């Protein structure tokens, strides 16, 4: 029989065990590391264009994707330059829309400090206010980056970013985008219309493929509409008939989710995230050939806006 500790030995035994436990804990629990600093705030003016913007995690909506890096804010918008440099945009209301112009030189967003939509020229640092009492507005830059359209309850407000002139196009249709310097609006469940800035009608296009106008984008000349359909891109004519069915040359794991906009007369920008691949591509509308847009893998699953490509 192995003798146990005598009562006189208990205090010394307990002290020894406590010392060992404390030493073990100290060895296992490392000192807390300092948190890395957040990404820098976008300066008033930068030399490079913005390639894309993305909305990161909003704690009010836990189903959204969390930040990829500790340096990202817990919510809000980030923008990424042509070099891959990343900046925070803390003045942009996280819940509101942010748009980057196609040339990557302008941002449009609802400013928390000014309490209105502004156009931020990142080349000069100038902020141009846009008259609206609302923050839940849909924004869209024209293909030449000069005009900004802003959807309102009973009209679309168009601001000239060079002259500051403002035009109001009456109507309660949804803003879909642009066809050159003309507006594209939704006029029915499966139809869109192209109107000039004086509200005169240019064309009406009706087709079952247009049941989700947010995924339709019209060519600069207004003659063709690109719409995603499964893993294909359909090119429709002004009569609503399918002209071409294009199979984009994408990686096997890429999933075509959106045709974002036209990038000239013969190319469109695709959003097609995949496993360990790029997420944004430029596709030729005749051949299906694609090229990836750099610095885009991390936008998968996020609200995005695409600028210079």
User: pLDDT by residue (tens digit) across 109-157?
Assistant: 999 999 999 999 999 999 999 977 777 889 999 999 999 999 988 899 9
Domains of the chain by start residue, with CATH: 36-306 (2.120.10.30)
pTM of the model: 0.81
pLDDT tens column, 51-103: 989 887 544 443 343 444 444 555 789 999 999 899 999 999 988 999 999 99
SS (H, E, C) the chain: CCCCCCHHHHHHHHHHHHHHHHHHHHHHCCCCCCCCCCCCECCCCCCCCEEEEEEECCCCCCCCCCCCCCCCCCCEEEEEECCCCEEECCCECCCCCEEECCCCCEEEEEECCCCEEEEEECCCCCEEEECCCCCCCCEEECCCCCEEEEECCCEEEEEECCCCCEEEEECCCEEEEEECCEEEEEEECCEEEEECCCCCEEEEEECHHHCCHHHCEECCCCCEEEEEECCEEEEEECCCCEEEEECCCCCCCCCCCEEEEECCCCEEEEECCCCCCCCEEEEECCCCCEEECCCCHHHCCCEEEECCC
């Amino acid at each position: 029989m192995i003798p146990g500790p005598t009562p006189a030995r208990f205090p010394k035994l307990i002290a020894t065990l406590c010392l060992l436990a404390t030493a073990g804990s100290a060895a296992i629990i490392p000192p807390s590391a300092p948190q890395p600093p957040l990404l820098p705030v976008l300066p008033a003016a930068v030399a490079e264009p913005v390639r894309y913007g993305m909305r990161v995690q909003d704690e009010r909506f836990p189903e959204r994707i969390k930040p990829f890096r500790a340096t990202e804010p817990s919510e809000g918008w980030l923008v990424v330059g042509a070099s891959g440099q990343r900046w925070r945009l803390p003045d942009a209301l996280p819940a509101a829309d942010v748009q980057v112009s196609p040339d990557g030189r302008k941002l449009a967003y609802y400013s928390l400090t000014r309490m209105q939509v502004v156009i931020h020229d990142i080349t000069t640092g100038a902020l141009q206010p846009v008259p609206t009492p609302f923050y839940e507005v849909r924004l869209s830059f024209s293909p030449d980056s000069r005009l900004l359209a802003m959807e309102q309850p009973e009209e679309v407000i168009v601001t000239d970013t060079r002259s500051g002139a403002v035009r109001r196009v009456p109507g309660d249709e949804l803003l879909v985008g642009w066809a050159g310097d003309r507006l594209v609006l939704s006029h029915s469940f499966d139809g869109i219309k192209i109107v000039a800035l004086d509200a005169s009608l240019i064309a009406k296009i009706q087709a079952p493929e247009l049941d989700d106008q947010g995924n339709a984008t019209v060519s600069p000349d207004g003659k063709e509409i690109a719409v995603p359909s499964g893993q294909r891109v359909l090119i429709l004519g002004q009569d609503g008939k399918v002209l071409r069915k294009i199979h984009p040359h994408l990686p096997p794991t890429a999933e075509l989710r959106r045709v974002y906009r036209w990038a000239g007369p013969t190319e469109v920008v695709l959003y097609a995230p995949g496993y360990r691949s790029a997420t944004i591509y430029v596709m030729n509308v005749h051949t299906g050939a694609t090229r990836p847009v750099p610095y885009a893998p991390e936008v998968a699953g996020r609200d995005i806006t695409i600028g210079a490509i």
